Chains A and B, each alone.
Chain A
Amino acid sequence: MTETAVKPAPAKAAKKPKPELSEGKRAERRLGWLLCAPAALVMVAVTGWPIIYSVWLSMQRYDLRFPNQSEFVFLDNYITVLGSEYWWTAFGLTTLITVVSVIIELVLGMCLALIMHRTIVGRGLVRTVSLIPYGIVTVVAAFSWRYAWDDKTGYLSALLSSESALIDQTSAFFTVVLAEVWKTTPFMALLLMAGLALVPDDLLRAAAMDGAGPWQRFTKVIVPVMKPAILVALLFRTLDAFRIFDNLFVLTPGTSSVSIQTYNNLIKGLNLGIGSTMSVLIFITVAIIAFLFIKVFGTAAPGSDSGGKR
Chain B
Amino acid sequence: MAEIVLDKVTKRYPDGALAVSEADFTIADGEFVILVGPSGCGKSTTLNMIAGLEDISDGELRIDGQRVNEKAPKDRDIAMVFQSYALYPHMSVRENMAFPLRLAKVDDKVVRQKVEEAAATLDLTQHLDRKPGNLSGGQRQRVAMGRAIVRNPKAFLMDEPLSNLDAKLRVQMRTSLSKLQKQLGTTTVYVTHDQTEAMTLGDRVVVLRGGIVQQIGSPQFLYEQPSNLFVAGFIGSPSMNFLPATLADNEVNSPIGKFALTDRIRSLVEAAGAPREVILGIRPEHFEDARLLDESAKSGGATFTASVDVLESMGSDKYAYFTVEGDQATSQELEELAADSGSADVPDRGSQVVTRLSAASEATQGGSLEVWFDADKVQLFDPSNGKNLTYSG
Residues of B near A207 (CB, < 8 A) are 88, 99
As a 0/1 sequence over residues 213 to 257 of chain A, the CB contacts with chain B under 8 angstroms (1 = contact) are: 100100011001101000000000000000000000000000000
Interchain CA distance A211-B82 in the complex, whole Å:
15
Interchain CA distance A291-B74 in the complex, whole Å:
42
Size bracket, chain B contacts? 20 to 34
Contact call A205/B74, Cβ cutoff below 8 A? no
Contact call A202/B86, Cβ cutoff below 8 A? yes
**Which label, helix, strand, loop or mixed, suits the secondary structure of the B interface?**
loop
Beyond A200-B84, A202-B84, whether A209 also contacts B90 by CB under 8 A is no
Contact call B103/A203, Cβ cutoff below 8 A? no
Size bracket, chain A contacts? 10 to 19
Beyond A211-B74, A221-B88, A224-B90, whether A206 also contacts B103 by CB under 8 A is no
Interchain CA distance A200-B91 in the complex, whole Å:
15
Contact call B84/A210, Cβ cutoff below 8 A? no
Contact call A206/B80, Cβ cutoff below 8 A? yes
Residues of A near B78 (CB, < 8 A) are 209
Interchain CA distance A274-B206 in the complex, whole Å:
81
Number of A-B pairs, beta carbon distance below 8 Å: 58
Query: Contact check: which of B51, B74, B82, B89 meets A212 at CB < 8 Å?
Result: B74
Contact call B73/A202, Cβ cutoff below 8 A? no
- Tell me the chain A residues, 136-168 only, with Cβ under 8 Å from chain B: none
Contact of B100 with A by CB under 8 A: yes
As a 0/1 sequence over residues 85 to 126 of chain B, the CB contacts with chain A under 8 angstroms (1 = contact) are: 011111100000001100110000000000000000000000
Interchain CA distance A210-B106 in the complex, whole Å:
13
Contact call B73/A203, Cβ cutoff below 8 A? no
Contact of A114 with B by CB under 8 A: no
Beyond A205-B53, A205-B82, A206-B80, whether A211 also contacts B100 by CB under 8 A is yes
Residues of A near B87 (CB, < 8 A) are 206
- Tell me the chain B residues, 50-70 only, with Cβ under 8 Å from chain A: 51-53
Residues of A near B89 (CB, < 8 A) are 225
Query: Contact check: which of B73, B88, B147 meets A208 at CB < 8 Å?
Result: B73
Residues of A near B90 (CB, < 8 A) are 224-225, 227
Residues of B near A206 (CB, < 8 A) are 80, 82, 86-88, 147
Q: Which residue of A lies closest to B150 (CB)?
A: A210
Contact of B72 with A by CB under 8 A: yes
Q: Which residue of A lies closest to B53 (CB)?
A: A205
Q: Which residue of A lies closest to B91 (CB)?
A: A224
Residues of B near A208 (CB, < 8 A) are 52-53, 72-74
- 15 A-B pairs in the complex with CB atoms less than 8 angstroms apart: A202-B82, A206-B86, A206-B147, A207-B88, A208-B53, A209-B80, A210-B79, A210-B99, A211-B103, A220-B99, A224-B88, A224-B90, A224-B91, A225-B89, A225-B90
- Chain A residues proximal to chain B, CB less than 8 Å: 200, 202-203, 205-213, 216, 220-221, 224-225, 227
